Amino acid sequence: MKERIIVAMSGGVDSSVAAALLKEEDYEVIGMTMCFNLPDATGKRPACCGPQGIEDARRVCHKLGIKHYVVNMQKDLEKYVIKDFVYEYLRGRTPNPCVRCNQYLKFDILLKKAFSLDAKFLATGHYARIGKAQYSILNTQYYLLKKAKDKLKDQSYFLYRLDQKQLKHILFPLGNYAKDEIRNLARKFNLAVADKLGSQEICFLPDTDYRSFLKARIKKGIKPGFIVNMEGKILGRHKGIAFYTIGQRQGLGIAMGYPVYIVKIDPKNNQITVGKKEDAYKREFLVREASFILAPLKKKVAAKVRIRYNHKEAQAEIIPFEDKIKVKFKKSQFAITPGQSAVFYDKDIVLGGGIIDEERID
């Protein structure tokens, strides 16, 4: 019998080609699409799990001659992703919902559903790679999470919370391809989604406006407060800390004669501090909820650290610090933002990461 693989299909070109590649390798492929009962996006970029995405995934599966299932995960999205998204913004932090979606939905709940269908693997259209290595002493195999070949499309940043048990049953068929190669393959396989635009970053924001989303969800939790300078002098008022993020320059409504940036958000006092751009640079911060691919960190090590998806990783030391991890950059970095993920790399290998807890250590 052919080995069965479940492919998480969003209706986009990447997951569609992932399914086509595995079908070509003679696996028994089944497409599975998460449904969140969300409206389609109103902007140019489609929502990955909206009605159009589900229909596109169904059409691709029909073209490939494979089964297609739709799994309603609205309650799971609400419980594990949206609830945290709102909670973090209310406390002046800037969350990354894609990390939690991968951790709790795709590679936990969806992986278990794949097992329930007697599949050995769950495959996705992520641009990342999984490597294998051998413990010489124990003579056992372990798995590595690595960057994709296409460094501009690499998505390993969003996957750092995967562990050995999960990596053993995950496939990333696109890891060794560049994005333009994937589009060409989609045309070769005659897939209708070959020229479809990439999906928007946050699927549950149909108009990409997180502020409107928060307003609709929180009636009384968002309160105006003061904007102050580095010395504590009041410069103006903000509309609620949930609407702002570290490093933000636009929309502050303050005229200082020079550009000012948000350098601190204080949820306890409902206050935002602004300063010059150099004031938004920091060298040290703490990480909570640390997760490592192989084993917990026991001593200080040197690594490259990325503090947001589009940040160029920089040299740092990562150090065990009570129940957290301290990160100390060699050079100060701009807008280290609580709530975002800090991901640790050794060249192309993901060591692990965690949630930025404090942007500096006094």
Task: Look at residues 54, 296, 86, 304 and name the one whose alpha carbon lies nearest to residue 211.
Answer: 86
To the nearest whole number, what is the mean pLDDT of the chain? 92
210 assigned to some structural domain:
no
Whether residue 81 is found in the same domain as residue 138: yes
Whether residue 84 is found in the same domain as residue 150: yes
- φ, ψ dihedrals at 310, nearest 5°: -95, 15
Tell me how far apart the alpha carbons of residues 19 and 316 are, in angstroms, rounded to a whole number. 38
Whether residue 266 is found in the same domain as residue 285: no
Whether residue 44 is found in the same domain as residue 154: yes
pLDDT tens readout for residues 101-133: 999 999 999 999 999 999 999 999 999 999 998
Whether residue 253 is found in the same domain as residue 347: no
Q: Is 146 exposed, middle or buried (0-12, 13-18, 19+ CB in 10 A)?
A: buried
In this prediction, residue 361 carries a pLDDT of 53
Whether residue 260 is found in the same domain as residue 345: no
Domain that holds residue 332: 280-358
Task: Look at residues 314, 98, 99 and name the one whose alpha carbon lies nearest to residue 200.
Answer: 98
pLDDT tens readout for residues 22-75: 999 999 999 999 998 766 555 555 666 678 889 999 999 999 999 999 999 999
* pTM summary value: 0.92
The residue whose two tokens read 């299909």 is: 9
Active site residues: 101, 203
CATH code, domain with 324: 2.40.30.10
Q: How many CB atoms lie within 10 A of CB 215?
A: 15
Beta pairing class for 271-275 and 140-147: unpaired
Whether residue 303 is found in the same domain as residue 229: no
Tell me which of 238 and 42 has the higher pLDDT. 238
Tell me how far apart the alpha carbons of residues 228 and 214 are, in angstroms, rounded to a whole number. 24
pLDDT-based confidence at residue 138 (cuts at 50, 70, 90): low
Whether residue 90 is found in the same domain as residue 143: yes
Whether residue 46 is found in the same domain as residue 15: yes
CB distance 187 to 20 below 8 Å: no
3-state secondary structure of 322: coil
Whether residue 85 is found in the same domain as residue 118: yes
Tell me how far apart the alpha carbons of residues 5 and 51 are, in angstroms, rounded to a whole number. 24
pLDDT tens readout for residues 142-184: 999 999 999 999 999 999 999 999 999 999 999 999 999 999 9
- φ, ψ dihedrals at 357, nearest 5°: -105, -45
Q: Where are the beta strands (DSSP E) in the chain?
A: 4-8, 28-35, 67-72, 121-123, 128-135, 140-147, 170-171, 225-228, 234-238, 261-266, 271-275, 281-292, 301-306, 314-321, 324-334, 341-346, 349-358
205 assigned to some structural domain:
no
